[in-house]
């Protein structure tokens, strides 16, 4: 968990995501391009928006208020920024699955989905005259900013979208300066609920999370692309300086952290032996939205606290 020094570090590098960037919607119909897939959307109104996944919720809820949102996915309470201020959104209807029948009963005028949701449902919505925007499915900063820009245009909140992007760029610049002392150190995301462990290498949100924090993704360094299972023997061989896991509910230790600290076979791991296990809230550990920067700032703060007494020695110099 984060220590007091980490909280000070966060205050230095971040201006924070909490401020709502609201803009009064206009009545003029607009045409929106989505450069990641070449789609064009004609949007007449966005007074009843449905962000159908945590990524869309993060962006929409940053740009506009709850009065513009017709419904939210049930998972938003755990995996989006709504988890930090649930009271503000509690009156909005929730839905379980991404199904056209369910969404159409909510009378949306704009729906945002991701590439892994049901394409058939999206097609039915489009056939019914509802514009549907699918996110890029990438977690690089160019892709994230492109998505923010397109959503902002669709919501008639262009100025707020550009302000958000500018703030993200400023925060990344400050973070790059603040993390010089830990560059070259390795980190690894790890999930294990008792049925085997998983990690993530290049072309994943974990890569963006770790590298933005100034660290090296140990999985990428081993040639891993995408998500892959990793057994104890491999974990021991890689021996990352830091292991990143999801915390449990309300910040309690999660199952992966508990396993790492109690499994005798992993006692020799540097991250376990020196208690360099960083627990991020599930909403940050799993995010692929602009809140990845929140996650990177938290990771960098934890790393700075862990290495504040003795400057770390980069692995290449050991």
CATH number for the domain harbouring residue 294: 3.40.50.1980
Q: At what angle do helices 292-306 and 205-212 cross, to 10 degrees?
A: 50
- Within a domain: 19: no
- Within a domain: 23: no
The number of beta carbons lying within 10 Å of the beta carbon of residue 159 is 11
Show which of 137, 169, 201 is a domain's final residue. 169
Query: Are 88 and 219 in the same domain?
Result: no
- Within a domain: 25: no
Question: Quick one: average pLDDT of 199-205?
Answer: 97
pLDDT in tens, 95-152: 999 999 999 999 999 999 999 998 999 999 999 999 999 999 899 999 999 999 999 9
Q: Give the total number of structural domains in the chain.
A: 2
Query: Are 270 and 159 in the same domain?
Result: no
- Within a domain: 261: yes
Burial 74-90 (b: 16+ CB within 10 A, else e): ebbbebbbbbeeeeebe
pLDDT of 209 reads 97
What is the residue-averaged pLDDT of the chain?
88
Query: Are 258 and 132 in the same domain?
Result: no
Query: Are 165 and 185 in the same domain?
Result: no
Q: How confident is the model at residue 316 (pLDDT cuts 50, 70, 90)?
A: very low
Which of 10-24, 41-55, 57-71 shows the lowest mean pLDDT across its residues?
10-24
- 272: domain range? 181-313
pLDDT of 28 reads 60
- Within a domain: 2: no
Query: Are 38 and 116 in the same domain?
Result: yes
List of residues 6+ apart from 272 with CB closer than 8 A: 243, 260, 261, 266
Question: Quick one: average pLDDT of 40-53?
Answer: 94
- Within a domain: 277: yes
Question: Quick one: average pLDDT of 36-40?
Answer: 91
Query: Are 309 and 186 in the same domain?
Result: yes
């Amino acid at each position: 968990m984060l220590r007091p020094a980490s909280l000070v570090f966060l205050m230095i590098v971040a201006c924070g995501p909490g401020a709502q960037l609201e803009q009064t919607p206009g009545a003029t119909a607009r045409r929106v391009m989505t450069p990641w897939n070449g789609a064009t959307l004609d949007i007449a109104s966005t007074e009843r928006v449905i962000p159908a996944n945590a990524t869309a919720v993060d962006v929409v809820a940053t740009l506009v208020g709850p009065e513009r949102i017709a419904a939210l996915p049930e998972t938003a309470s755990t995996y989006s920024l709504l988890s930090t201020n649930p009271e503000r959104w509690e009156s909005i209807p929730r839905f379980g699955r991404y199904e056209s029948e369910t969404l159409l009963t909510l009378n949306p005028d704009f729906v945002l989905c991701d590439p892994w949701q049901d394409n058939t449902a999206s097609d039915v919505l489009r056939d019914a005259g509802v514009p549907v925007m699918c996110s890029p499915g990438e977690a690089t900063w160019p892709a994230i900013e492109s998505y923010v820009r397109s959503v902002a245009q669709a919501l008639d909140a262009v100025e707020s979208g550009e302000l958000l992007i500018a703030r993200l760029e400023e925060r990344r610049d400050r973070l790059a300066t603040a993390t010089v002392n830990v560059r070259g150190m390795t980190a690894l995301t790890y999930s294990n609920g008792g049925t085997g462990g998983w990690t993530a290498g290049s072309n994943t949100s974990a890569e963006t999370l770790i590298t933005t924090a100034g660290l090296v993704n140990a999985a990428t360094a081993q040639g891993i692309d995408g998500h892959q299972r990793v057994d104890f023997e491999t974990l021991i061989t890689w021996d990352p300086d830091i292991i990143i896991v999801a915390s449990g509910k309300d910040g309690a230790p999660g199952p992966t952290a508990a396993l790492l600290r109690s499994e005798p076979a992993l006692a020799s791991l540097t991250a376990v032996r020196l208690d360099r296990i960083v627990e991020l809230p599930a909403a940050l550990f799993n995010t692929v939205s602009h809140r990845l920067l929140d996650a990177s700032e938290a990771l960098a703060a934890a790393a700075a606290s862990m290495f504040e007494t003795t400057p770390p020695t980069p692995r290449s110099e050991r």
